[in-house]
Structure 1
Amino acid sequence: MDDQIEPSPELKVQPTFDDDSSSNVLDLTSFQLHDISSVELPSTLTEIDLTANRLTTIDSRISHLSALKKFSLRQNLIDDAGVEPISQWHEIAGLEELVLRDNKLNKIPDASIFKWLLVFDVSFNEITSLEGLSKVSNTLKELYVSKNDVSKIEEIDHLHELRILELGSNRLRVMENIQNLVKLEELWLGRNRIRIINLCGLNCIKKLSLQSNRITSMLGLEGCIALEELYMSHNGIATMEGLSTLINLKILDVSANKLTSITGIETLTKLEDLWLNDNQISSLDGIDEAVKGSKDTLTTIYLERNPCAKSPNYTKALREIFTNVQQIDSDMFA
């Protein structure tokens, strides 16, 4: 006999209204609801968060909330048919943020009615193509399509205002069709199948992630002078090259590659974090010259699981070179 007590179907949900007016923001996170029919939906709502429930459809009453700006359905059970009605809900056309992350979607939903959309998140679904993004408003600033099965970057040419593009954990082989994203500041393409870096002439990017791909050369980054954070761990890189122009770089992660020495970063004067662990760097000889531009700015350096990390006085030698270092591998210093 099962001793687990099932909740009574008459149990009243007590939603959280979080705002000075106590009726603008509705938070129903983690209630495990199958529907929200018992929940009052004030007409003044500007935000609804239904994260971590068991919803398969979207309550039609939401279609009349003309003040709604942010709507999150993250971590539910909504499929393509379940989300389809919102494409006709013109009263909520002023929506600025739509989050459908972690559901059961197989395709990009029709979001064409949302003419002022700023954030669109369909990550962690089963989407195989970016087909449908051409209908998304050109006001969009953040687009998240990570952890799907997308094999080609397409239908984003019109997104001139885009600042963040997240396409990590897909099946991409080529960096393409991003040349019109002239205001892009963050590009996340980790865990794909990319072999060659091609930023299509973009030079405003500040954060770039290409970790866990099939890249063997760092060439292609030369024009990214605004770049501040570069993540390229778990590739097949044997030589650091093409980095001398990245004068604003603060974080460089090339851990878990095939590096045998430290070269090509002498001119970087703003570097704060340098991740070189899990490579094949044999000696600390010459490291002071190799990283001379960052001697005073470097605060974190990882070299563990390289042959050089087994050298006598390894930590002491690094602390003498980098006088402001605060962390070497897992060791923290006051």
Structure 2
Amino acid sequence: MEEENAETNIVKVLDMSYEPNSAIGKGYSIPDDTEELNLTNNQVKEIENLAHCAKLKTLILRQNAIKELKNLENLGELVDLDLFMNEIKHIRETSFKNKDNLEKLDLSFNKVKDLNEFRLAKLPALKEIYLIHNKIGKITGLEHLTTIEFLELGDNHLKVIENLDTFTNLTSLWLGRNKITQLQGLDKLLKLKVLSMPSNRLTKIENLSHLRNLEELYLSHNGLTSMEGIEELVELKTLDISSNRIEKLQGLERLTKLVDFWANDNKLSDFEALNVLLNAPELHTVYLERNPLAEDPNYETRVLLTLENLKQLDALPVERVKEKLLTRRAEESSS
């Protein structure tokens, strides 16, 4: 499907997604002035026939069978390169030649093992890099990419947070579903606003006190037993500690800007522990289901009496919760 610019009548976007052509340009032509090309799920095995597309800014090659990053040298205007779900194993010296304008790179769901192969990549404008679900064992080789603001390395084989000191512009770091045992190596990330570490092997919150700009922290599905170490993160708006082993909420006293707090599937048993959340007047959403306290027959009532400004409790809007309570009381009265 082609889209035209109404004023100049020049084709700029070519969308051939979900057309099983097997080869780029097979059975169709790509205009020289194309700025966005979408070839999602085309059964493409090789990047080819793009040398004439010097004006291309967005190239989407998701869900294909590409094994090698090559033949991109002429695409000097490229800003967004999407290779999600292919079969790429290696980054070559020429893979990113003439890519001074590239801002976003997605290599998620490929077979990349060694980030050291990025050492020769010159990507002076790169802001976002997605490497979800590869086979990466160490964070190394990206140190020179100091312009990166968003780094996603979830679902890999990482055990240690390391070699991030040069990432002083980083605002979002996603490391979920790895094998990381300790929060460390984050000292220089003073601009960080989002830190996502779910499904790792953390047992305590530590080495975060310097992250004074952090607004979102995701620590679900770890082995945390307390909130100690979170006290200095006073800018937090979203905190996810669900599916841990936490029994108390001590440490949240200064987190007055919380809006969303997810603590379901822990070991909270005392309703008085919720009083610490009264310090956060903008708190709108709380998840507490599948804690021992949620087994109390008056669970919803007791939570809403304590946290009067809530808009959502667990999966339901508070208005729905109140309707359920009224219905339950009516049924109890009539029985």
Note the 1:184-263 alignment, pairs <5 A. Answer: 184-198=170-184, 199-263=186-250
Find the residue that maps to 1:309 and give its secondary structure: helix
Q: Deviations over 1:134-172 (max 9, x none)?
A: 214122100111100000001111122111000000000
Report whether the alignment pairs 1:145 with 2:134: no
Residues 2 and 11, structure 2, Cα contact 8 Å, conserved in 1:
no
Question: 298, 301, 306: which one pairs with 2:286?
Answer: 301
1:317 to 302, 308, 315: 302
| Equivalent position SS for 2:271 | coil
The equivalent residue for 1:107 is: 90
In structure 2, which of residues 14, 17, 20 is the aligned counterpart of residue 26 of structure 1?
14
Matches of 1:220 and 1:255 in 2, distance apart?
20
Aligned to 1:76: 64
Structure 1 residues 18 and 107: alpha-carbon distance in aligned structure 2, compared to 1, 3 A threshold? farther
Q: What is aligned with 1:330?
A: 315
Tell me by how many angstroms 1:19 deviates.
Answer: 4.4
Using the alignment, how far apart are the partners of 2:188 and 2:125 within structure 1?
A: 22
Deviation at 1:264, TM superposition (A): 0.6
Instruction: Give the equivalent residue in structure 1 for 2:42.
Output: 53
Deviates more, 1:322-331 or 1:268-277: 322-331
- Runs of 5+ unmatched residues, structure 2: 320-335
Partner of residue 121 from structure 1, selected from 106, 109, 118: 106
| Counterpart-to-counterpart distance in 2, 1:78 and 1:92 | 18
Q: Deviations over 1:215-250 (max 9, x none)?
A: 001111111111111110000000112222212111
Q: Are 2:27 and 1:38 equivalent residues in the alignment?
A: yes
Which amino acid letter does the alignment assign opposite residue 158 of structure 2? L
> Which of 129, 132, 141 pairs up with 2:117?
132
- State whether residues 40 and 60 of structure 2, in contact with CA within 8 Å, keep that contact through their aligned partners in structure 1: yes
| Among 124, 142, 167, the residue aligned to 1:156 | 142
Residue number in structure 2 paired with 1:276: 263
Go from structure 1 to structure 2 and tell me whether the alpha carbon gap of 1:133 and 1:244 turns closer, same or farther (over 3 Å shift): same
CA distances 1:172-226 after superposition (whole Å, capped 9, x unpaired): 0110111111110100000001011111321111111100000001111111111
Change in 2 beyond 3 A, CA 1:333/1:292: closer
* Helix, strand or coil at the partner of 1:48: strand
Identity among equivalent pairs (%): 35
* Paired residues of 1:166 and 1:189 also in contact (CA < 8 A): yes
Runs of 4+ in 1 over 6 A off after TM superposition: none
TM-fit CA distance, 1:92: 1.4
Corresponding residue for residue 93 of structure 1: 76
Q: In structure 2, do the counterparts of structure 1 residues 280 and 37 end up closer, same or farther at CA, with 3 Å as the change threshold?
A: same
Contact 1:176 1:200 (C-alpha < 8 Å) held by counterparts: no
How far off is 1:22 after superposition?
Answer: 5.2
Q: Report if the CA contact (8 A) 2:261-2:285 is conserved.
A: yes
Q: Which amino acid aligns with 2:51?
A: S
Q: CA RMSD in A?
A: 1.4
Q: TM-score, normalised by structure 2?
A: 0.89
- SS of 1:285's equivalent? helix
Tell me how far 1:18 sits from its aligned partner: 5.6
More displaced, 167-176 or 107-116? 107-116
Separation (CA, whole Å) in 2 of partners of 1:41 and 1:187: 37
Alpha-carbon contact 2:262-2:287 (below 8 Å) kept: yes
Aligned match of 1:11: none
Whether the aligned pair in 1 keeps the contact of 2:47 and 2:70 (CA below 8 Å) is: no
Aligned residues: 312
Structure 1, unpaired ranges of 5+: 1-14
C-alpha distance in 1 between matches for 2:197 and 2:232: 19
Aligned to 2:329: none
